[in-house]
Amino acid sequence: MRLFKILILGLSVCLISPVAQARDLFEARLSYGMLNSDPDLNSLCVGCASSAPSVTPFYGLGADGIITLPIPLLPGIGIRYENMEFSTSKSGLDYTANFSRTALLLNWRPIDNLIYAGPILTYGLSHSTKLKVTEFGVEKANYSAGSPSSYTVGLEAGVKLIGFSLGAEFGYQNFQWNDATDSTGNAPSQDINMNGTYGKFILGFSI
């Protein structure tokens, strides 16, 4: 029993010790994720005859590139790109939306050995947004945000295998589609709230 306790203690020290951490200089990652936002769809189509359908999450792919210098406790810095979309329909009323987002990424892993875990932050640098509404095939609204802004706060964790890693990330995304203008002219400009929780499954490759 005493030997078992010593082994557990030794393993714990190896996992959390900055000296023992196996830090990767560069990591390229692919991700598949979702954003569970809840915008007010009814306000986006003032001329529609029927009420809006239920909101569905955004789904899509992304990629990260992260550099981490071999200095204990120093956070990694990188760039994130993601492209996501959603569609929902009811009684001839169709809503489709998509966005692309490029963001500055910071992650810090107090645990970074065979397993990794820690906080991760992103801040949006560039955005492309579109939300379209059609009713029985007739375009009713087509929005594009004039000054979108975004940031995320989350936690990531995973396991490192030989040459690659598998992980997940969960958190909250603040995503404001400010000054969204309807190109059809049927609706006034407005701010669209795309805030919500998000999650990602991540496949990483390190050197």
Phi-psi region of 136 (alpha: psi -120 to 50; beta: other; left: phi over 0): left
**The domain defined by 2-206 carries CATH number 2.40.160.20:** yes
**Whole-angstrom Cα distance, residue 179 to residue 87?**
22
pLDDT tens profile 121-156: 999 999 999 999 999 999 999 999 999 999 999 999
pLDDT bracket for residue 71 (50, 70, 90): confident
**Whole-angstrom Cα distance, residue 200 to residue 151?**
15
pLDDT tens profile 149-197: 999 999 999 999 998 999 999 999 999 999 999 999 999 999 999 999 9
Looking at residue 42, its pLDDT comes to 93
Q: Is 84:57 a contact under the CB 8 Å cutoff?
A: no
- The distance in angstroms from the start CA to the end CA of the chain is 39
Higher-confidence position of 197 and 71: 197
Query: pTM of the prediction?
Result: 0.86
Burial class (CB within 10 angstroms; exposed 0-12, middle 13-18, buried 19+) of 88: middle
